[in-house]
Structure 1
Amino acid sequence: MKKLLLLTASAAILNGCIYGTVQDANTGSAVYQAKVSVINGNCSGNGCGFPEGTDTSGMYVFDAYGDRNGSANTKFITPSSGQEAVTFRVSKPGYQSRTFYHKPDYQKITYSGKTYYVSDAPVIYLCPLGSLDSDGDSICNAAETRYGTNPYDSDTDDDRLSDAAEIFGYNGVDIRYYGADPLRKTVLVEADYYQAFKPDQAALDQVIQAFADAPVTNPDGSTGITLAIDLDSQIAAADVDSNLSPVWTDFDVIKNQYFPSRRSKLFHYALFADRHSGGTSSGISRGIPAHDFVVSLGGWPTPGGTMQQQAGTLMHEFGHNLGLRHGGNENTNRKLNYLSIMSYDYQMPGLRVDGATGVVDYSRLKVNAISGNISEFSAMSGYGGTTESDLADYQVRRNGSWLSGTASANLDVNNNGTLQSSVFVGNINASQNDWDNISFGGGGTGGTIGDPHLGASSMMLYSLTSQMATPEFMVEPCMTPEDM
């Protein structure tokens, strides 16, 4: 993902320009004299009274410097008050018009001794009137071929964000700004926080990197998931509720004030708060799967949590939003054969993998069931592609203690210093690879991720699937300091 140069409000006087190109979806050639209009946004400059037009190369520029279109046609475009992106419309007779949302991400360039700030809008492939759109996502088949997306699937990368939303934005929100790509899975989170409990950026980065390293394949040939966490608003002191109780009633008072409804089909919503329900639970998800979650480490020995505890809890609670339970596909907690941040054994200290400690990750392994006894010499075994070599990378934690050996061999499960051929550990079901079972659609009472460009049939299918969550798992507070 390209780095964004985020300008402060005082830097707005730098007068950045916005540019882009318009091409014919069928031929790929430049569209000359297409009209690019600002439908919603602020314009300052001498040429604000009329739209821009494309030149013979298909390019248009909202030129704030006067270098391209002359000083009589300067335009500096910014989002309108209360909005986060500018709304543009591209039109030309004989073509379907296209609306897109653009949040300027100004990049600094130097040209001929001058410094400019420029922001590139997405390439627009205009579809001739009558063009076929097989998947009904508002992008004609010919344009989908140009973008590399599937003309018969409105969500090429299966992340519950439509191809149209990832290219053009949706409902006034430009998710391309946050790294959304129709050929790579993307998950978006808005995180708001109380002043005393603002998360450490290093904790957020650790979780972002965990998703980037996920063993998940994408249509563009890459692996991993783009997780964008928009650390957005500090909750005003007057709005801070030190004990969210009833948790979702009080949560909604804050959410309704700070989380824009225009984001509701695109972003999960997280609140870094003090406590909830009168206790010291580290957090709670609004359901499994779900749209909303709380990180509430105010009552922990380090109020707000250490960096490691913040990262582990964020990954854990968000995992519930993504459909994961404390045992992966079941709610049995602290399963010996389940090596995941979703287990209380690993939520706070993280995993130990291949010599690294404090690893925040969901399970990457498929581990066989254990029937009563286990041989400490041979430890656990994998299935479905999980090998002994994979298991050998992991150390195991049980009852608050790290065990000698690995998940593959010489595992001292009763921690008595002696390896035994048979130790009773109880009946434990097989454990899943969590990354293979992520649910991208949110769900529960907090809302559902998925914009209307996915199509009615796709939305209905997810709605039916999300109802399969057993009611007893719909609201689940997580660990307390006593659970460590």
Structure 2
Amino acid sequence: MGNGARWGRAWVAAGLVMLGLVALPGGPAGAQAGPRAGTQAGAQAGTQAGTQAGVRNVAPATQPVTLRILSVECASACDATGIEAAGMGPPDFYAILSIGSESKTTPVVPDKAQVFIPEGWTLTTQVSTSLPSVDLAVRIMDEDPDTDPNGDDLADASRRSGDSAARFTLDLVDGSLSGDLTDPTGCTTGGGDGHPVQVCYDIRPYTFEDSDGDSFTDYAEHRGLDFNDDGTIDLHLEQWADPRRRDLFVEIDWMAGLAPQSGVLAAVEQVFSNAPITNPATGGQGLALHLLPDEQLPYGETLRFDDTRDPGPADDFDDLKSGRSDQTCAHGGEDGHFGTPADRTSPECDRILLFKRLHFRYGIFINGLTPPTVPGPAGTPVPNTISGRAELDDRGGNDFVVSLGRLGAAVDLGRFGGRAKAEQATLLHELGHTFGLGHGGRTDNGTADRINCKPNYLSVMNYPLQFATVATLPAGEHLDPNRPLDFQRLNNVQTLNEAALDETALPGVSGAGTRRIIWGGNGAGRWFHAPANGRINWKVDFLPNGDLKLEPSVAVDLNHLTMFSECDVPSAGQQLVSNPDWDRLVYNFTNSPYFSDGVHGPAPEEIDAEDLQRLAAADLNVAKSVDKGDARPGDELTYKITTGNAGPSTATTVAITDTPPTGQDITRTLADLPAGRRAEESVTYTVPCTVTDGQVLTNRVTVTGRDSSGRPEPEWLLGDNAATAATTAHIPGMSVAVEGTAAAGAGETLTYTVTYRNTGSAPATGVVVTLDAPADVSPRTLRQEVGTVAAGATGTARFAVRTSLLTGGGTAVTVRASAAYGGAGGCVYPAASATATSTVTEQPPGRDPRPPALWLLHTGQVPAELLARVQATDTRFDGADGSAPDGLLSVAEVRRVLTLPVTPPALLRAELLAIYLNLGERRINASTRIESLTATKLGTANVAAAARHGQATLELPASPGNLLRYTTAQTLLASINLNLSTRY
């Protein structure tokens, strides 16, 4: 087995170990791939995408083969005892070199020592790549004088008998050698015939030689790869590879209906072909990027591209690339799409795909990415329109997607150079991430620079320069008209210190030439541009005469660009470094942590429809303020409304609608707003009495409009189209609590304490506290005027009442306390109230009631408390002595009622008063039972009932018709006072 075969199998085994595999499945042999199996990839791509990459490299017709002699050494004596005749001295060697049919006789090296290193003993010739191998031969000759009849001597360089020439065969497929030499830098030593010599050789290309340093051997780039050493090429790299330039391979698949537009792949390949890269070994310029269109995949609305793998089929990137289980190769079924269909059906499928996994990046043109929706303004879901995703690590990546289907449905890509240019830019951008470039390029320490929107970073990796927009956007848009489809190639662009920018320096950004510099400006809602080779007024401010104001040190947050979601974050004071991209690309992605299938890492955010709409839309915004943060009913609130346009387009048909806390909307039409302009309006609102304390009165305003082309503002820019201003309303509130005597006898005093508190945050005015008592309680209503109660203040009011002596024991007496109040603006609020309940108690009666005459004799002993109890029960006796009623019962008034009554009404009044006096001194109780014919006839079963019958009788006129009733009532009460009808 030749060295080439050993190398091929050792290489595959090493690759398997690196991938974590222990063995390759043998499986049944599939259909023979044939000598040009790789060329089927283009055919699979279809009419449109099959020609995307432009004119491919044509497989070389020849390849160079070099045979060089490194040294020659006599293996025996190099004098008259050896190859030379006696007295002739050291030999004069030369060589005859042969490669195929081409031969060369080298110069003579005279009289050398035992070992010598010849110069110029080299033969290089072009050998047809159609040949599987070529024969090489070396003869070492000793030049003798012309007088020597035997001519020049032939040294023995071979151990074979009968042939002194060293002969070997070079396998032109894998570089292995057979014959006398099996190592391209080895030696042969004679021993078969004659005088032996050892000859050491350098035969190129070596088996592992990689002249352009792209990790593909020269043999692979000339001939392709024969993995099983059967003489048939299993993977044809030679149809694309360029032996003089670094080759970079990317397989491109696409969903149905989403094939790359014509010329897209060729345009991106041309970018790499023009790269400022020189191969030091070959002198070849640029890089040979091969975007290989392969096959169409099933359509899906969205596709997942992250480290999560969904259970369904073909719903994530890894399903489409690698399939599931061990089914990528046709041995067990086919459901992955990495590699060509011919690769996956080849008997050498495992080896082919392993090789491609180590060297080929893989990308898919898809419709959209999962999740299908993302949070929009105010959290409202909107379609996910992100333009692409790629693996990004400091050590590169190998997988990416271009997802312009949903974006193209949401945005008119014609305004951004068209679909093809959008695909070119996005493809180059995502490829850049796999080569280790961040949105700010790559730093000196070898890490991806993730600072986006740097004005001095002139690369398609930079958001403002990704899409070609200048030619199609309205005039005046601040973009770079000379933006090429390229990475950063300038290597002397100055660093920008945002904290100290020199506006007087010339040029503004050194090395950027005639390009235009684009920057934000502390998030001012617009962007600016200026020629890179002139002074730049970063602050965009002016002198009184209108000239730009240039200062030696200003601070501007240059990359705070509100048009792009990833740059719409303040980042003042950064050092914005601009490094060239091309000499920092990471070619080998196998060291990346995302190299393994199914691992993609946290991909960077990318431009989506929202970003592109911001580039071309009128971006209206509105702000609102109010003159009072706190107010009371009757206050007038004045709202200031400021409408602005963050641009870049002029806003037309601008209208604001103000919605007050209550009442009808107010709509006003504004004049057109150019980018960066503002307009102010004001409205008023009077706080009503109906507000509640602490209520937030929210006044809302919304703004609508269109851009200069008449298109409405896109949905995802509406997040700042509404604003609110809030005022907190303050009104009084009142709480009431009442506590009183828990229990007392009939006629005794019940006292109540009413506690009131202003629970609101504004003063309560006109506060009146009232106590309302039920029937048989005197007085029935009590009032106390409090006036104004401050917010949070507390006060008390005290009230006293007496129950009627006719109230039976166990009766519950419930009083209601209330506080009426008002507030600012003449507002009146519902009164607060509370209740308290007392219980009337009853003690055993003395059982010794007195008649009126006896009470008359004892009037001097009647205490004031007893008089008060009678007055609380019945006020008819107040003023009986002819005095003016004053609410108090006196002894004189009692005597007058009890003195010599002769008329029926007077007799009844005297008996009724005596009943009250007996009740007040607890001689009898209201519930004391009575029994008599009169009581039975009148249905009065107790003292209280009899007294009430007497009260009702006294309300009747003292007419002859009522004489009987008066007499009967007087008799009923007299039997009680005489203790005749009472039953204890």
TM-score range, shorter chain: 0.5 to 0.7
Partner residue in 1 for 2:583: 436
Partner residue in 1 for 2:294: 232
The structure-2 alpha-carbon separation of the partners of 1:155 and 1:246, relative to structure 1 and needing over 3 Å to count, comes to same
Partner residue in 1 for 2:437: 324
- Partners of 1:322 and 1:191 in 2: how far apart? 16
Partner residue in 2 for 1:215: 276
- Partners of 1:19 and 1:379 in 2: how far apart? 51
Q: Structure 2 unaligned segments of length 5 or more: list them.
A: 1-38, 45-58, 68-96, 103-125, 136-166, 187-200, 228-233, 310-315, 323-335, 340-352, 372-383, 414-418, 443-448, 472-479, 543-547, 557-572, 613-984
The AA in structure 2 aligned to 1:294 is V
Deviation at 1:311, TM superposition (A): 1.1
Which 10-residue stretch deviates more, 370-379 or 333-342?
370-379
Partner residue in 2 for 1:290: 397
- Partners of 2:584 and 2:595 in 1: how far apart? 20
Q: Secondary structure at the match of 1:228?
A: strand
Partner residue in 1 for 2:181: 130
Q: Deviations over 1:20-57 (max 9, x none)?
A: 6798742463269xxxxxxxxxxxxxxxxxxxxxxxx9
Q: Deviations over 1:156-199 (max 9, x none)?
A: 32333333432332352222211x22321221111101123211
Q: Secondary structure at the match of 1:265?
A: helix
Q: Find the partner of 1:311 among 424, 446, 449.
A: 424
The structure-2 alpha-carbon separation of the partners of 1:22 and 1:392, relative to structure 1 and needing over 3 Å to count, comes to closer
Q: Secondary structure at the match of 2:168?
A: coil
Q: Structure 1 unaligned segments of length 5 or more: list them.
A: 10-17, 33-56, 62-87, 101-123, 145-150, 383-387, 449-470
Q: Is the contact between residue 284 and residue 475 of structure 1 (CA under 8 Å) also seen in structure 2? A: yes
Partner residue in 2 for 1:345: 464
Partner residue in 2 for 1:420: 550
The AA in structure 2 aligned to 1:259 is F
Deviation at 1:132, TM superposition (A): 4.0
CA RMSD of aligned residues (A): 4.1
Partner residue in 1 for 2:370: 277
Which 10-residue stretch deviates more, 309-318 or 156-165?
156-165
Question: Is 2:246 the partner of 1:194?
Answer: no
Q: Deviations over 1:419-459 (max 9, x none)?
A: 522442333232211111011112435538xxxxxxxxxxx
Q: Is the contact between residue 168 and residue 177 of structure 2 (CA under 8 Å) also seen in structure 1? A: no
Q: Is the contact between residue 367 and residue 403 of structure 2 (CA under 8 Å) also seen in structure 1? A: yes
Q: Find the partner of 1:411 among 522, 536, 545.
A: 536
The structure-2 alpha-carbon separation of the partners of 1:222 and 1:274, relative to structure 1 and needing over 3 Å to count, comes to same
Partner residue in 1 for 2:630: none
Deviation at 1:325, TM superposition (A): 0.8
Partner residue in 2 for 1:395: 516
Q: Deviations over 1:227-256 (max 9, x none)?
A: 11111111134xx36232657731011012
- Partners of 2:587 and 2:540 in 1: how far apart? 39
Deviation at 1:7, TM superposition (A): 9.6
- Partners of 2:319 and 2:261 in 1: how far apart? 25
The AA in structure 1 aligned to 2:304 is L
Q: Is the contact between residue 283 and residue 317 of structure 1 (CA under 8 Å) also seen in structure 2? A: yes
- Partners of 2:358 and 2:203 in 1: how far apart? 27
The AA in structure 1 aligned to 2:454 is K
- Partners of 1:302 and 1:381 in 2: how far apart? 39
Q: Secondary structure at the match of 1:424?
A: coil
Q: Find the partner of 1:252 among 303, 307, 318.
A: 318
The structure-2 alpha-carbon separation of the partners of 1:269 and 1:416, relative to structure 1 and needing over 3 Å to count, comes to farther
The structure-2 alpha-carbon separation of the partners of 1:420 and 1:264, relative to structure 1 and needing over 3 Å to count, comes to same
Deviation at 1:273, TM superposition (A): 0.6
Deviation at 1:368, TM superposition (A): 2.6
Q: Is the contact between residue 297 and residue 303 of structure 1 (CA under 8 Å) also seen in structure 2? A: no
Q: Is the contact between residue 335 and residue 428 of structure 1 (CA under 8 Å) also seen in structure 2? A: no
Partner residue in 2 for 1:84: none
Q: Secondary structure at the match of 1:269?
A: strand
Partner residue in 2 for 1:176: 238
Partner residue in 2 for 1:94: 168
Question: Is 2:220 the partner of 1:160?
Answer: no
- Partners of 1:7 and 1:281 in 2: how far apart? 29
- Partners of 1:303 and 1:231 in 2: how far apart? 27
TM-score of the aligned structures, taking structure 1 as reference length: 0.63
The AA in structure 1 aligned to 2:583 is D
Q: Secondary structure at the match of 2:239?
A: helix
The AA in structure 1 aligned to 2:266 is D
- Partners of 1:314 and 1:363 in 2: how far apart? 16
The structure-2 alpha-carbon separation of the partners of 1:439 and 1:248, relative to structure 1 and needing over 3 Å to count, comes to farther
Q: Is the contact between residue 222 and residue 243 of structure 2 (CA under 8 Å) also seen in structure 1? A: yes
Alignment of 1:363-382 (within 5 A): 363-366=488-491, 367-371=493-497, 372-378=499-505
User: What is the number of equivalent residue pairs in this alignment?
Assistant: 358
Q: Is the contact between residue 22 and residue 31 of structure 1 (CA under 8 Å) also seen in structure 2? A: no
TM-score of the aligned structures, taking structure 2 as reference length: 0.33
Partner residue in 2 for 1:480: 608
Q: Secondary structure at the match of 2:422?
A: helix
Q: RCO higher in 1 or 2 (8 Å CA, sep ≥ 6)?
A: 1
Tell me the percent identity.
24
Partner residue in 2 for 1:105: none
Question: Is 2:489 the partner of 1:359?
Answer: no
Partner residue in 2 for 1:39: none
Larger Rg: 2
Q: Is the contact between residue 22 and residue 126 of structure 1 (CA under 8 Å) also seen in structure 2? A: no
- Partners of 1:350 and 1:28 in 2: how far apart? 62
Partner residue in 1 for 2:203: 142
